[in-house]
Amino acid sequence: MIFRQVFDAVSGTYTYLLASRRGGEALIIDPVLEKVDHYIRMIRELDLKLVKAVDTHLHADHITALGALRDRTRCVTVMGEQSNVDVVSMRLSDGDTLRIEGLALQALYTPGHTDDSYCFRMEDRVFTGDTLLIRGTGRTDFQNGCPRAQYESIFNRLLTLPEETLVYPAHDYKGDTVSTIGEEKRCNPRLQVRSMDEYVDLMNNLKLSNPKMMDIAVPANQVQGMNQRDILELGWAVMAEQAKGLVGAPDIVLVDLREKTEQLRHGQIPGALHAPYEDLDEAIQPGGVLHALTAATGRRLVFYCAFGERSAMAVKAAHAAGLDTACHLHGGLDAWKKAGGPILQ
Ligand code: FE
């Protein structure tokens, strides 16, 4: 496995780059905007293909690189379903598996620091975001933070993992890089409480000042800019209401770009073809299945995904590959459902 921990000294943020092998797919957790060139260089040097960029929660102390990485690598941006952020292309729920080639991370919904905080467990380690820090815990006094929820998330979820599980947090301000669940249980001063009430008292009396970047970072992280706005202006989008009339139409092909797990959880549009986003480049090139399909039948490709972000990138790629009638469902399956479109469960 390739595992890199990158530190941003300005915000004290740790970013993690993961891949199962050199030359394979990569995933990045909690990337920082100012470090994008650094990540891109690492990815290139290790011969990796960045396919997913994940934020553990909406950050208040730095601007995320999710939007920038998406623009530069066409990776899928991922957060929890609770995050009030526009850029997200795939949303996770508790228990979902986040996959790239050769690696699987289990998403644990762990509210408390914020109401959209997730941890990610992978084999011998857990990425704890700001839920559990080394000898500390994430503050709970803004962004719908809640010390009770955090106590539950830490004591009833994270601390039930095997003691030897490695803990990789999203921040450290003292120079520590990794800990274990057992070590934090014994040595983390915030965890030496006898009850939830005691923990709540402790957290409510920290009297911390707001992070320096908070007023800038929170709004910036909520609005990273969506791909589908450009696509709409180019006239390559179909609105959900209008798209309902396309189901079963002989001259179009609806193409579902989501992963199998998303289809199972959220259902799909009847009659759609499945072509996962990660295999798109191959499918739209001459000789690829989608290219052949449109060449042979003259049918128009209508891409869709969960929220319209992956499909917007797919439309751009398809046009670049010469499939110039390709379009997508604006707002994705989410908009489709809101418009009352039929769903195959
Ligand atoms: Fe945070």
**Cα 58 to averaged position of ligand 1 atoms, centre (Å):** 7
Q: How far is the CA of 310 from the centre of ligand 1 (A)?
A: 26
Q: At what angle do helices 66-73 and 36-45 cross, to 10 degrees?
A: 40
Identify residue 292 by its one-letter amino acid code.
Answer: A
Ligand 1 mean position to 139 CA, how many Å?
8
- Distance of CA 131 from the midpoint of ligand 1 (Å): 8
Question: Would you state the structure tokens that stand for residue 21, as one six-digit string?
Answer: 């092998």
Give me the pLDDT at residue 229, please: 86
Give CA–CA dist 272/275, Å, rounded. 9
- What's the confidence (pLDDT) of residue 142? 86
Cα 142 to middle of ligand 1, angstroms: 10
Q: How far is the first Cα of the chain from the last one, in angstroms, to the nearest whole number?
A: 36
Spatial separation of the C-alpha atoms in residues 284 and 326, rounded to whole Å: 10
pLDDT at 211: 78
pLDDT for 207 equals 87
The reported pLDDT for the residue numbered 209 is 86
Which residues of the chain register pLDDT less than 50?
none
Domains of the chain: 2-221 (3.60.15.10), 229-338 (3.40.250.10)
Nearest residue to 76 via CA among 311, 296, 292, 289: 311
Rounded to the nearest whole angstrom, what is the distance from the C-alpha of residue 215 to the centroid of ligand 1? 13
pLDDT of residue 54: 98
Gap from CA of 208 to ligand 1 centroid (Å): 14
Residue count of the chain, please give it: 345
pLDDT at 215: 82
Sign for the CA dihedral angle at 230, 325, 72, 310 comes to positive
Residue at token pair 């670049």: 320
Residue-wise pLDDT tens digits, 323-336: 999 999 999 999 99
